[in-house]
Structure 1
Amino acid sequence: MKKLINIKIDGIDVETRAGQTILEAAKSVGIKIPSLCHLHIKEIGYKNNCSSCRICVVEVKGRKNLAAACSTPVAEGMEITTNSLRVIKERKTILELMLSDHPSDCLLCEKSGKCDLQRLAIEFGIREIRFKGKKTNNRVEYSPSIIRDADKCILCKRCETMCREIQTCSVLSSINRGFNASMATAFEQNLETTICTNCGQCVAVCPVGALHETDYTKQLFDDLSNKEKKVIVQVAPAVRVAIGEEFGFAPGEDLTGKLVTALKMVGFSHVFDTNFAADLTIMEEGSEFKERLEKYLAGEPVKLPLITSCCPAWVKFAEHHFHNFLGNLSTAKSPQQMFGAVAKNIWAKENGISKEKIICVSIMPCLAKKYEASRHKFKDGGIPDVDYSISTRQIASLLKQANIDLRTLPESKFDNPLGYSTGAADIFGKTGGVIEAATRTLYELVTGEELEKVDFEQFRGIEGIRIAEIPVNGIKLRIGVVNGLGAARELLNKIEKGEETLHAIEVMACKGGCVGGGGQPFHYGNFEIVKERIKGLEKIDSGKIIRKSHDNPYIIELYKKYLKEPLSHEAHQLLHTYYSPKKRI
């Protein structure tokens, strides 16, 4: 434990830990220092905060120049002033300089009302800008998941820090100097043609509207208005424990029933649950794991560890960076894509509907799901399994546009059969949840015995890498759980070097899993919010009567009528996919 030191902040005696920054020390005693570039993520630490925005400047006794609070470590006896006239004047000047080269279309901006720059301009009472001159004029770049508007960029470098330090993708970085300085990709390529995984964590931390998610809500309104189309919707597990934050509920509050009611009010013909397909995914992925494990124990050549494939950002990361591991990925489609395939090819047929007339929409916590829905491999004769994806933030905005307040609504149930799920499916939305759900099924598939204790605490937590040992039928399975692409890189590098041996790995690209996805209500690094969302999913799971995917009666019926058994030819045709190596730079 680091020793305690004594400092003064605004005349207040403060005892704090050595190594903390001034910003952290001030926050610990309730003194607010404004900041834009700083990311409140302990894994990064002050050394990687770039001090680029300078909004957090303070006076330190004995120093001539003002110090950036986000990157200046405290020292014994330090005396700090955060609210002097000099400090306030400097911060206002910095803000005016930023605003002088910033678009003024706040009313039309994606981030309006939730923009940190806008908030600070209000707090500092800026009503005019003294600095006039030339403004930057960059193109707006569009991709299936993310829109990049460089004119709105304030060069805070949060996106670069997140992409480089946490996700280890290094897609965005600062280029040029002076007035021509900007955040850009290598050779200023479009994001779509880079190694970007579409995880959306850059969007989640951008303080302004320079990075935001691609919006399909206009297309959704058009489709809902089209009498020739039947618009159905699926809801991911992580959405139900986060959307309430947009309506004044606490993080982790289960809004499933109210959300179903709201979506029916909007005009969807059927409201289904992605969790149904999560149970289906476990049937295929769990069976695949069992098959590989049996071959491994028989001494046959087989690719282990089996690695989950539910997260499209992780899949794209692997396609770019870990070509040698592509054979380790489960070939099972993600629940989003499995749902679309079943809805359009089985449910539609059962209900006498041409699949060409169905618009399948997903509500997801993840921006990579937008990209995944657009991938060519998930189209059958040009017809996509999922037509497009809407983020949690976007569906909340759409409901508000329709004057629908979740606080006032009664609860409704999902439509069946594609709306029924087990508790195992609910925990898909959190780190460790997919492999826990798979283990519940794998245990019974391998042993033929009933698993009485279905909670695997070994898989739970939000640290980047967790290793659990699970005894199954005399075999001690070593299973890895990873959240964050940087953590995934670290673990796979260890496996490549022979420093670690595992039988299976779950990978989720975002901290905490899908609950911390790039399309969720903004938490800006406050992982206590993410933890509450996780608790919400665990509570839903523990409250279900059926908590194992293979016990879902509608899944059993689906195999009996259409798919025969997991990993059958019919199942492979509809529910499995392949992976392709992509460029590494």
Structure 2
Amino acid sequence: MVNITINRQKISVPEGTTIMEAAASIHVPIPKLCYLKDINEIGACRVCVVEVKGQDRLVTSCNNVVEDGMVIYTNSPKVRRNRKHTIKMILSQHEAQCVACVRSGNCSLQTIANDLNVVDTPYKKELVVQEWDERYPLIRDANKCIKCMRCVQVCDKIQGMHIWDVSGTGSRTTVGVSGNRDIQRADCALCGQCITHCPTGALRERDDTEELYRAIEKEDTIVVAQIAPAVRAAWGESLGLSREEATVQKIVDALKRIGVDYVFDTTFSADLTIMEEGNEFVERYTKGDLDVHPMFTSCCPGWVRFLKSQYPQMTGRLSGVKSPQEMFGAVMKTAFAKHIGVKPERIFAVSIMPCLAKKSEREASLFYKEYAGHGVDCVLTTRELDRLIRADYIDPKTLEDIPFDQPFMEATGAGVIFGATGGVMEAALRSAYYLITGKNPDADLFQEIRGQKKSGWTEAEFEIAGNRVSVAVVSGLQNTRVLMEAIRNREVHYHFVEVMACPGGCSGGGGQPIHEGKELAAKRGENLHFLDQHAAIRFSHENPDIKRLYKEFFDAPGSNKAHQLLHTEHKA
């Protein structure tokens, strides 16, 4: 233990503790902009400086460890003056139009400037001109970038994609796409982790809320919406609702008030995905197609983008089943259009997703033959949903639990856990077990594949009717790269692999609410598993609305019509 004094308070902390961590242990906050524990500890922003007795220069608290006898002042007059000067310098290169910024009210720079009572910036503004294709799902505003390097480090260390890089020196230092590439030509997976870890509004998703408003205004357009499983675990966070208050049924009420005609649960199409994917897995397994290389899940478009750009030779190992989002679109413009007696062209399908990559997935034409076209017309993130609720001046406390619409109302616990890492695998195995044996397993038989690992992946082996089934679950693209190399080098072998681009799965998606310094994917995932535990139906193949849909429209899993509408061909 090391004995130190912070703001005249004597404390003891373990050797190797940083000054920032030592201060936090006695509830003394130190402001910071660039710091991310174990990811970005480079002291670039200089906002976290403190005064150490006996040293002339201020030191950064995020990457300097305590020494025995050290006397530290975290907010001395010298520190305050320096910190305020630093913020003013940063603001001289920052487009501080906070009222028109998507991160206003949730911006670290704004918060610190307000805390320090920065009311003017005496330095000349030096903004840059940097073009960006604003049709791309991910938007970067160079004039809001504070060069904290978080996006670079998160993309490098957590996702292993190396999309961002630094160029220039001194005050001309900036961040851009690595290799002087255009973002459209870069191999970005659109995971959005750079956005959720950016302290300002320099990175954001393309806002598509106006598309929804335009559709609502058209009298001859029928607007249908779907809500992804992970959205229910996070949407209330920035609206001041507790987990118990923020039910998915309240989102239905909010969307109906905004003007959406029909609202459905994506867990329904998640169940549909399991019916097709479970059937495909059993078929490929029994034919011996998985004896050498596994079948990969295809629900996560960020992972699919990653595979096609990084391991194109493995593209054929993807499941041919569409994601639940695209299955929903296909069903809306065929079975549902038929059900309500309208032409598919009149239906405008909007998805509420925790993900940026879904915006890109929507743009792909995934129908076959007479069903050619887009299934989904607009994708909004969880953050965009919250902005819609605010824009319509809806008091979240007044929202009521409104049921989903017919005829696709029922959903299962298996569909809900799609939003947590390991959930797709667990749901698929529950139904695969039934398809092989003709009876249900214990619903929690496969629970050892649940959860998030900081590094590596989760693996398990199960015996189903005398057949050995080896599976793996991984989230985060750097972890995925390590796993893919092990599979390619035949160091490991699995029959079935679930991959989610974002750490913790969709719960930690790039479109979820942003909380500075907090990683909530695991907590949100626990919420989804809680909902599964208390669901009336926990197996996708027992969903009565799914059974009815097959009976009346698709005939059976893997049928010709199911292949036309619910499957796709992945190409590198």
Structure 2 vs 1, CA of residues 503 and 388 (structure 1 numbering), >3 Å: closer, same or farther?
A: same
Q: Secondary structure at the match of 1:191?
A: coil
- Is 1:75 matched with 2:72? no
2:96 aligned partner, one-letter code: S
TM-score w.r.t. length of structure 2: 0.95
Q: 2:19 aligns with which of 8, 15, 22?
A: 22
Moved more, 500-509 or 461-470: 461-470
Among 389, 392, 409, the residue aligned to 2:382 = 392
Q: Which amino acid aligns with 2:215?
A: D
Alpha-carbon distance change, 122 to 402 in structure 1, aligned in 2, over 3 angstroms: same
- Higher mean alpha-carbon deviation, 445-454 vs 86-95, is at 445-454
Is residue 541 of structure 2 the alignment partner of residue 550 of structure 1? yes
Contact 1:252 1:537 in 2 (8 A): no
SS, match of residue 243 in structure 1:
coil
Aligned: 1:275 with 2:275: no
Instruction: Indicate which of 426, 435, 441 corresponds to 1:445.
Output: 435
Q: 1:143–1:191: 8 Å Cα contact kept in structure 2?
A: no
One-letter code aligned to 2:35:
H
1:521 equivalent to 2:516? Answer no
- Residue in structure 2 matched with residue 431 of structure 1 by the alignment: 421
Q: Which residue of 1 aligns with 2:303?
A: 314
Q: Report 1:68-467 matches (<5 A).
A: 68-251=60-243, 254-296=246-288, 304-377=293-366, 383-454=373-444, 456-464=446-454, 465-467=457-459
| Aligned-partner Cα distance in 2 for 1:188–1:14 | 49
CA RMSD of aligned residues (A): 1.9
Cα contact 1:308–1:330 (8 A) shared by 2 = yes
Match for residue 557 of structure 2 among 566, 572, 583: 566
Evaluate the alpha carbon distance shift between residue 471 and residue 302 of structure 1 in structure 2; reply closer, same or farther with a 3 A threshold: closer
Which 10-residue stretch deviates more, 7-16 or 169-178? 7-16
Q: Which amino acid is 1:8 matched to?
A: T
Once the two structures are TM-superposed, the CA of residue 170 in structure 1 deviates from its matched residue by 0.6
Give CA-to-partner distance per residue, 1:384-406, whole Å, 9 cap, x none: 11011011111111111112122
Distance in 2 between residues matched to 1:13 and 1:350, nearest whole Å: 72
Q: Give the superposition deviation at 1:498.
A: 2.5
Measured after TM superposition, the shift of residue 293 of structure 1 is 1.4
Q: Work out the CA distance in 2 between the residues paired with 1:402 and 1:32.
A: 36
Residue 549 and residue 76 in structure 1: after superposition, are their counterparts in 2 closer, same or farther (change >3 A)? same
Return the offset for 1:284.
1.0
Q: Which stretch of the first structure deviates more once superposed, 359-368 or 453-462? A: 453-462
Q: Are residues 1:6 and 2:3 paired?
A: yes
Q: Deviations over 1:186-218 (max 9, x none)?
A: 344332221111111111111111111111111
CA distance in 2, matches of 1:77, 1:474: 65
Give 2:6's aligned amino acid.
I
SS at structure 2 position matched to 1:193: coil
- Report what 2:30 is aligned to: 33
Given that residues 143 and 192 in structure 1 are in contact (C-alpha distance below 8 angstroms), is that contact kept between their aligned partners in structure 2? no
Structure 2 runs not aligned, ≥5 long: none
Q: Measure the CA separation in 1 of the matches of 2:436 and 2:397.
A: 45
Aligned to 1:577: 568
- AA aligned to 2:404 is F
Q: Percent identity?
A: 42
Is the Cα contact below 8 Å between 1:245 and 1:521 reproduced in 2? yes
Which AA in structure 1 matches 2:498? E
Deviations 1:481-504 (A, max 9, x none): 111111111111122222222121
Report if aligned partners of 1:454, 1:547 keep a CA contact under 8 Å in 2: no
- Partners of 2:293 and 2:493 within 8 A in 1: no
Which stretch shows the higher mean deviation, 271-280 or 301-310? 301-310
**Alpha-carbon shift at residue 133 of structure 1 (Å):** 5.0
Q: CA deviation at 1:507?
A: 0.9
Q: Contact 2:413/2:532 (CA < 8 Å) preserved in 1?
A: yes
Whether contact under 8 Å (2:270, 2:324) holds in the other structure is: yes
Against the structure 1 CA distance between its residues 133 and 113, is the aligned structure 2 distance closer, same or farther, given a 3 Å change threshold?
closer
Per the alignment, do residues 130 and 351 of structure 1 end up closer, same or farther by CA in structure 2, a change over 3 Å counting?
same
C-alpha displacement at 1:455, in angstroms? 5.0
Give secondary structure in 2 for the equivalent of 1:384: coil
Cα distance per residue 1:198-251 (max 9 Å; x no partner): 111111111111111111111211110110211110000111121111221235
Q: CA deviation at 1:469?
A: 2.1
Please give the alpha-carbon distance, in whole angstroms, between the structure 2 residues aligned to 1:120 and 1:525: 14
Quote how far apart the aligned CAs of 1:535 are: 2.2
The structure-2 alpha-carbon separation of the partners of 1:350 and 1:171, relative to structure 1 and needing over 3 Å to count, comes to same
User: Matches of 1:486 and 1:89 in 2, distance apart?
Assistant: 41
- Where structure 1 has 5 or more consecutive residues not aligned to the other structure, the ranges are none
**1:461 and 1:253 mapped to 2: Cα distance?**
25
Q: Taking structure 1 as reference, are residues 404 and 363 closer, same or farther at Cα in structure 2, changes over 3 Å only? A: same
Contact 2:227–2:352, Cα closer than 8 Å, also in 1: yes
2:67, 2:302 → 1: CA distance? 41
**Equivalent AA in structure 1 for residue 259 of structure 2:** G
Q: Secondary structure at the match of 1:277?
A: helix
Deviating beyond 6 angstroms after TM superposition, the runs of 4 or more aligned structure 1 residues are 379-382
C-alpha deviation, 1:73, in angstroms:
2.7
How far apart are the structure 1 equivalents of 2:431 and 2:372? 35
Deviation at 1:144, TM superposition (A): 3.5
Residues 235, 273 of structure 1: 8 Å contact kept: yes
Deviations 1:509-553 (A, max 9, x none): 1122111111111133523x3333222211221222211001111
Contact 1:252 1:533 in 2 (8 A): no
* Contact 1:155 1:183 (C-alpha < 8 Å) held by counterparts: yes
1:541 alignment counterpart: 532
TM-score (normalizing by structure 1): 0.93
